[in-house]
Amino acid sequence: MRILQIVHGFPPEAWAGTELVTYHLAHALQARGHQLTVLTRTADPTAPEFSLQAERYDGLAVVRVVNNHTQTTTFRLSYDNPFYDDLFREFLTQRQPDVVHFQHLAHFSTRLLPLATAAGFPTVLSLHDFFFPCHRIHLIDADGRLCPGPEGGTRCYTCLQGMALPEDVRHRFAAMEQAMVAARWILTPSAFLHERIAEYFPVLKDKLRLVPLGVKPVAAPPRRRRQPRDPLRLLYSGLLFPPKGAHILLDALNGIPTDTVTASLYGETLPYWQPYVDQLHRQAQGFAVHFPGAYPHGQFGKILSAHDVLVMPMICEETFSLVAREALMAGLPVVAARRGALPAVVQHEVNGLLFAPEDAADLRRCLMRLLHEPGLYERLSSSATQYKTMDEYAVEMESVYTEVSATPSPQRLRQHEEAGGSLDDMPKANRDVSLAWRPAQTFTVSVLIPTKNGERYLSEVLAGVRQQQGDFRLREVIAVDSGSQDATLPILRKYGVTIVQIPPEEFGHGRTRNRLAAQAQGEVLVFLTQDATPANDHWLQHLLAPLYADENIVGVYSRQQPRAHCHPMEWRRIVEEELHGQVDSRIHSAEENAEDYERNRWRYRFFANSSSVIRRTVWEHLPFPEVPFAEDQAWADLVLQAGYKTAYAADSLVVHSHSYGPWVNFCRHFEHAVAMRQLFAHFSPLRLQDCIPEALTVAKRDLIFWRRRTNQSKARVLGRWMLSAVSWHVAANFGIWLGERASRLPEPVVRLLSLQEQVKRK
């Protein structure tokens, strides 16, 4: 079996718990004859961003993706990063794994999971911590307190102020849920984490499977038997930062005679937490406390043999704890906070002691018992504790992979049928699941394009349309042309497009699209602009997918990727600011999100006809409003109020951007502001005196974004783009301000500034 393991870090660069589990599991599976590849992230400032570095490490095939976070310019990009998309699709195509096992997606993108599933690869997701429900991973709030739960992301904003807007915080939670839904199975290592994930994400209950991890015993020299008068040698092992609670251990030492106990605090120090470590050193003054730092991999056995007790004073909730199990297997009792999954590992009065979380006095009481209660230490340290071995875990995972890969995806089902097979020759258990994935129908599609003087990109757009593959039948491509004077018409004829010609003065964004729809015969209407190029041959399949999945979804729009020559101001707007237009769940529904919809209707009605699809039956009774601008958002607002849903298809990608100069940008924002005011009574807080200062602030963000994206020097970016960025945003802001007051302007002036009217006159 070809198995792909994906993890956020891997030896020799990272040796933490998840990385070690992945490392040992990969070895155990490879020893059983499977072909293993590990895909991981690395930091390498000397290498191009998102380049691949293939190597063999300790006999394993390892591919490292360079991510120095130069493109992580917004909160959303820290977890929902489209820069990985094409790289990952190509990687899967080349490797063709039989199963993809996601161990951790920090430093990657949660988009990888649905991408793998959509491409037809069986997927398994292991949960090792709270990465999915909590951006801070440990469910510890900004004040260092245990979080009672994210509550759908609503509780998270107080922790992330300064990093994210409220809608970004809610979006993260919804995006995490959407990513996890894409996995065939979700594995949890402990009953504690299993219950918590089911509580936070009820939609996942049927996908969750409890599969405890295997444990590889550490090689430890024989331990010297502790004598009653010997100091009790305490061991703390973990990152030195507040959620792990090292300060609670030091507080507990107060009141214990200093000659009866020693403590070693092993752990890495991160620069951000250096003040906390300095505080620990101050706390430790006067006690026999040592700070050896991080230990090399392979030395933990020796460290265990040199200590008597492992202390785990956690504030955060451990979800499994390899360290506790390794210590118990080496014969060390564990004194731990009664929190998270630790009570399932540390059996009170059997192999260790449990104390009240965050209670230094109770921890001190436990340590005093070990010092003075006759026979207690000997009884706790003599308890034989055995756990699932890594080989046993590999056998169990082998069964998981076999069962998951036996469930065919739509793509594999289609391949099976194309090879002459049928549903009848598949096992019944697999047939039932495969039918759920199979489209109930195959749509007939009409692709509709308004054109005028579009020769620059039209050939590549039409070639991209003709190359599409998937579960649909392309019935026709229709163009309504409003007076082209270049090579547009010959290009349309070359690609067999049905052409309807109208005078330029009859063009209108809503009116022309309604005319296109009226000419169409397809069950679904795909609207595309003459400069929006499908990025791959599955653009249309991904655009249609939400319609197959939910009959109440009536409109879907694509993600956009800037063209290579796009200037920084537009590039950043597409990559960053357009993300704010996507409603948190990516499914837009006024009824299911009634309260939020009433507060933030502008986010829900976001829709983009540069690449979109709508159901013909819905268009017939809810056509596009015949408005001069923003017909797509006006239509989306209508269908949402009618009880339908719209959706954003992130996997459906078109290459589309504009490099407008300041004047055209002024007119663009003027016309948009007019439309928002007339259609939705939307009025921005922008004041006239704010137009230039706001432009300077936003231009600065453009320049920072462009430096990070291109790795150019500050001087070069400033010299090339500073004046352009400032003038571009000044024009935009004055356009918005004036457009919102267009009702006070003479009609000829409004027509002069209208971008649509300018296009008609060309």
DSSP, residue by residue, 275-328: HHHHHHHHHHTTS-EEEEEPPPTT-HHHHHHT-SEEEE--SS--SS-HHHHHHH
Tell me if domain 2-210 and domain 232-381 are identical in fold.
yes
Strands (E), 485-635: 498-501, 524-528, 533-534, 553-561, 587-589, 611-615
Residue 49 in tokens: 């961003």
Which residues, other chains included, contact 357 with Cβ-Cβ below 8 Å and sequence gap of 6+?
A: 146, 314, 315, 337, 338, 339
Contact 176, 153 (CB under 8 A): no
**70 — pLDDT class (breaks 50, 70, 90):** confident
Range 2-210 classified under CATH 3.40.50.2000: yes
Instruction: Give helix 428-437 / helix 410-418 axis angle, nearest 10°.
Output: 110
| H or E segment and range at residue 625 | none
Q: What are phi and psi of 583, to 5 degrees?
A: -65, 150
Res 191: pLDDT: 95
pLDDT at 284: 96
Q: Give the residue from 364, 365, 370 showing the smallest Cα distance to 351.
A: 370
Q: What is the pTM of this model?
A: 0.61
Q: How far apart are the first and last CA of the chain?
A: 61
Residue-wise pLDDT tens digits, 19-69: 999 999 999 999 999 999 999 999 999 999 999 999 999 999 999 999 998
Tokens of 330: 């080496």
Write out the two tokens for 446.
């009409």
Bond before 48 cis per omega within 30 degrees: no
For residue range 106-149, list pLDDT tens digits in order: 999 999 998 998 888 999 999 999 999 999 999 999 888 999 88
Distance CA 243, CA 323 (A): 16
Amino acid at 469: Q
Q: Which CATH number fits domain 443-655: 3.90.550.10, 3.40.50.150, 3.40.50.300, 3.40.1160.10?
A: 3.90.550.10
pLDDT, tens digit (0-9, with 9 covering 90-100), for 714-752: 888 888 888 888 888 888 888 888 877 877 888 888 778
Homologous superfamily of 232-381: Glycogen Phosphorylase B; (3.40.50.2000)
Which tokens hold the place of 206? 């049927």
Q: Which two tokens stand for residue 720?
A: 């090339």
Instruction: Give the DSSP H/E element, type plus range, for residue 364.
Output: helix 360-372
Among 346, 354, 348, 353, smallest CA distance to 385 is for 346
Q: Residue 229, Cβ neighbours under 10 Å: how many?
A: 7
Confirm if 329 and 386 have CB atoms less than 8 A apart.
yes
pLDDT, one tens digit per residue, over 523-568 is: 999 999 999 999 888 899 999 988 888 888 999 999 888 887 788 8
Of 704, 709, 577, the closest CA to residue 68 belongs to 709
Looking at residue 712, its pLDDT comes to 80
CA distances from 297 to 15, 30, 612 (A): 7, 22, 52
Alpha carbon distance 678, 655 (integer Å)? 30
Are the CB atoms for 445 and 541 separated by under 8 Å?
Answer: no
Domains in the chain: boundaries: 2-210, 232-381, 408-437, 443-655, 662-761
d(CA 549, CA 410): 12
**Strand 524-528 versus strand 443-451 pairing type:** parallel
